Amino acid sequence: MSSLFPNYGRWPIRIVRGEGNYLYDESGKKYLDLIAGIAVTSLGNVPPKVKEKVQEQLNTLWHCSNLFEIPVQEKLAEKLVSLTCGDRAFFCNSGAEANEAAIKLARKYTQKILNEPRYEVITFTQSFHGRTLATLTATGQAKVKEGFDPLPEGFVTVPYNDSRALQDAISDKTCAIMLEMIQGEGGVNPADPEFVEQIKTLCAKHNLLLIVDEVQTGIGRTGKWFAYQHYDIEPDIITMAKGLGSGFPIGAIVGKEKLVEAFGPGSHGTTFGGNPLASSAALATLETLEEDGYVAQVHGLGVYFKEKLEALAAANPTIVKVRGKGLMIGMEMTGEVAGIIEQMRAESILMLQAGPNVLRILPPFTIKKEEIDRAVDVLENVLNRMKEPVANE
Ligand SMILES: *Cc1c(COP(=O)(O)O)cnc(C)c1O
């Protein structure tokens, strides 16, 4: 019997080691990792350059609290500001906390700086924003909210990619719109360019803040540093976490200069946020991604992977659609994908799902074309095997 709460539906694999694009279980069995810890270990498992920087930091200083100025945290903030349209950063420890901070910042800015009694945040169906009470309320999926009533006020969910419904949902209480540019947990659904254009227009017209949740899409995953950069928009607040620290827990928001007074001393905080260890892991991750040109490679690798899957789709009527950008790929099937994932796992290849019918593929950026070839070959075999009529026992 386990001493853990059974809140995760865990696979019966005991992972004990990771190296590059592979994970190893207790028995030494090796798995090709097309999950990357859910879009976290983008440089592969235990990336040497990040390891070296974190080891240096381990020898110097782990934690001192935000009572002090922390040079490595400031350097990390500078880097993130240089990679986005934002001007200021705040660090926390997870994606949910980053979204929580964004919601608080949007409300405080509207109520204290603009002096307007607006507080509502509009989010979208099939979105995922986290598991804290505020962020699960913001999440557009009923299963995440069940049993946790009463939920905090001030959130409205509108159909994704529906400009008309969005327009109708804006009221004199609305203060912000929050969205994922490609919904991750909800099925790898990209935002339509016309929808994003409409959001931009509505934000300008009603003086709303635009919050983009880049917790899964950020840090190069889609072939640009941030997925909003595929569109002609400048969010007021960008939230991030998963890929930021190569597996070291860290989250962040980056926001526009106009928000600075709303997050004055004492307004918000967290003990561990941006501590020297976490900041050094994130800074080394960003520097390695930049110096070794990974973000540019993500685009090409994504195109290569998607083309192979589309070829597979042409011969397989059970594949409905291949979606996504860069190395955030979804393959919608006519039926449930859990069985496919299980069979892939039996062949030592790890894949994820995004809802019942969508296979989700989030490889490390270090994935090689030969590894993509092999994964697609194995997937083809698995799909063919599933096509065969099952013999009666
Ligand atoms: C994973 C995820 C979150 C929550 O992040 P945690 O670190 O698990 O709290 C929020 N938003 C999106 C888009 C995510 O994919």
pLDDT digits (tens, 9 = 90+) for 320-347: 999 999 999 999 999 999 999 999 999 9
Query: How high is the mean pLDDT of the chain?
Result: 97
Question: Cβ(195)–Cβ(163) under 8 Å?
Answer: yes
> Cα–Cα–Cα angle for 239, 144, 183, nearest 5°?
45
381 C-alpha to center of ligand 1: Å?
Answer: 33
Question: Cβ(224)–Cβ(295) under 8 Å?
Answer: yes
Could you tell me which residues come within 8 angstroms of residue 379 by beta carbon, excluding any fewer than 6 positions away?
Answer: 312, 340, 344, 349
The predicted structure's pLDDT at residue 392: 55
SS3 state at 91: strand
244 C-alpha to center of ligand 1: Å?
Answer: 12
Structure tokens at 383: 């799909």
243 C-alpha to center of ligand 1: Å?
Answer: 11
User: What's the average model confidence in pLDDT over 75-91?
Assistant: 98
What share of the chain has pLDDT > 90, as a percent? 98
In angstroms, rounded to a whole number, what is the distance separating the alpha carbons of residues 251 and 237?
13
Structure tokens at 214: 């880049």
Could you tell me the pLDDT band of residue 393, with boundaries at 50, 70 and 90? very low
In angstroms, rounded to a whole number, what is the distance separating the alpha carbons of residues 69 and 74?
8
- Order of all β-strands in the sheet with 155-158: 88-92, 251-255, 237-240, 209-213, 174-179, 120-124, 155-158
User: What's the average model confidence in pLDDT over 40-63?
Assistant: 98
User: What's the average model confidence in pLDDT over 212-221?
Assistant: 98
41 C-alpha to center of ligand 1: Å?
Answer: 14
Tell me the pTM: 0.97
User: What's the average model confidence in pLDDT over 37-44?
Assistant: 98
Question: DSSP of 4-49, one letter per residue?
Answer: S---S---S--EEEEEBTEEEETT--EEEESSHHHHT-TT-BS-HH
All structural domains of the chain: 15-46+293-385 (3.90.1150.10), 48-291 (3.40.640.10)
185 C-alpha to center of ligand 1: Å?
Answer: 9
> Is residue 222's pLDDT more than 70?
yes
User: What's the average model confidence in pLDDT over 99-111?
Assistant: 98
Residue range 147-196, pLDDT digits in tens: 999 999 999 999 999 999 999 999 999 999 999 999 999 999 999 999 99
95 C-alpha to center of ligand 1: Å?
Answer: 4
* Candidate of 215, 253, 362 to mutate for ligand 1, largest count of ligand atoms within 8 Å of Cβ: 215
* Candidate of 127, 129, 226, 270 to mutate for ligand 1, largest count of ligand atoms within 8 Å of Cβ: 129
> Is residue 64's pLDDT more than 50?
yes
Residue 6 identity (one-letter amino acid): P
**Nearest ligand 1 atom to alpha carbon 132:** 9
User: What's the average model confidence in pLDDT over 259-288?
Assistant: 98
The predicted structure's pLDDT at residue 391: 58
Structure tokens at 238: 């960008």
> Is residue 243's pLDDT more than 80?
yes
The predicted structure's pLDDT at residue 390: 60
**Nearest ligand 1 atom to alpha carbon 242:** 7
User: What residue's CA is closest to ligand 1, atom 11?
Assistant: 129
Q: Which residues line ligand 1 (CB under 6 A)?
A: 94-96, 99, 128-130, 180, 184-185, 213, 215-216, 241-242
Residue range 296-311, pLDDT digits in tens: 999 999 999 999 999 9
